[in-house]
């Protein structure tokens, strides 16, 4: 069983809770998720089955989309509604123009600190363990990019927003930092993840629906097969001898390429600086591997596989 499941995570469930439930529903142990959602958050959680669990390094780099609500007036120690206020509530809230100007300052490449109450590791332990014990910790900043921070509605003290950002962004930190910038404090009260790369919340299913479909034996209705993943990558069909030799590793020369199925993706709107990744298939349509094009300085031109999931055996083997 190899595939991807798009789950609409319910509020108060941890990402691990969802994985455990999918394991129970499918009676299948090799299940994992791509991209943790806080228990208070809802929305898109990508759950992988079988060989797809090996693709974390690819899915973890995808941009993510969110919509949510920030409450201005005071910050909390967890940066969300579950925490304790850090100061008395401020009544000095910004007008719409000042808010828009502040949100604009966070767009682009910025340096961000993780929330103290988060699963990010420090000295091998999640930060939240240090925070709960009130032990000192080193909050190390990360360089992230906020591609869009859009105001949808402002009804003081509540700010409804939409964000598109690079992987590794903490929306709780974004809310907290916005409050600091405005001088009134702020914390996140609601968050829904709407997209991960090409996958959207609209295409996801609730756990109840997944449970119902699985009970009827309709697993293909919610399990996206390996061959249908990565619509954003150019798909290359290899000639038979190249497909059989793939397991040995090394470069696949250009003469080993039979056909490029969707060459238009090469010129599609990828985020600036993102390398091109290719999906490699056999002549029979089996997904084989992911590959990059060989560097310009390489003596030979071709594809360099970096993640091989399937192999084509020689006839009779």
Q: State the catalytic residues.
A: 38
Three-state secondary structure of 188-249: EEEEEEEEECCEEHHHCECHHHHHHHHHCCCHHHCEEEHHHCCCCCCEEEECHHHHHHHHHC
Q: How are beta strands 252-253 and 3-9 bridged, if at all?
A: unpaired
* Rounded CA Rg of the chain: 23
DSSP line for 42-77: EEEEEEEEGGGGGGHHHHTTS-EEEEEEEEES--BT
Q: Both tokens of residue 136?
A: 């000192």
Residues 6 or more apart whose CB falls under 8 angstroms from that of 124 comprise: none
């Amino acid at each position: 069983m190899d595939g991807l499941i798009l789950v609409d995570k319910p509020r108060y469930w941890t990402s691990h809770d969802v994985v455990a439930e999918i394991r129970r529903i499918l009676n299948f142990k090799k299940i994992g998720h791509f991209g943790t959602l806080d228990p208070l958050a809802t929305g898109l959680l990508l759950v992988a089955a079988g060989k797809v669990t090996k693709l974390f390094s690819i899915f973890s780099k995808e941009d993510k989309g969110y919509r949510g609500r920030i409450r201005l007036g005071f910050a909390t120690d967890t940066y969300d509604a579950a925490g304790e206020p850090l100061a008395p509530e401020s009544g000095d809230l910004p007008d719409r123009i000042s808010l828009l100007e502040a949100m604009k300052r966070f767009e682009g490449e910025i340096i961000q600190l993780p929330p103290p109450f988060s699963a990010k590791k420090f000295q091998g332990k999640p930060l939240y363990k240090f925070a709960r014990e009130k032990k000192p910790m080193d909050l190390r900043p990360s360089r992230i990019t906020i591609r869009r921070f859009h105001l949808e509605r402002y009804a003081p003290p509540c700010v409804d927003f939409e964000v598109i950002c690079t992987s590794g962004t903490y929306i709780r930190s974004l809310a907290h930092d916005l409050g600091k910038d405005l001088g009134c404090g702020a914390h996140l009260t609601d968050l829904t993840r709407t997209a991960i790369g090409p996958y959207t919340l609209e295409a996801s299913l609730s756990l109840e629906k997944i449970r119902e479909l699985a009970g009827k034996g309709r697993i293909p209705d919610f399990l996206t097969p390996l061959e249908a993943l990565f619509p954003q990558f150019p798909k290359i069909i290899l000639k038979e001898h190249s497909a059989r030799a793939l397991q040995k590793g090394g470069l696949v020369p250009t003469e080993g390429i039979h056909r490029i199925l969707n060459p238009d993706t090469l010129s599609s709107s990828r985020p600036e600086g993102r390398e091109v990744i290719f999906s490699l298939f056999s002549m029979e349509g089996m997904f084989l591997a992911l590959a990059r094009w060989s560097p310009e300085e390489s003596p030979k031109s071709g594809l360099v596989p970096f993640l091989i999931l399937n192999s084509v055996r020689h006839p009779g083997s």
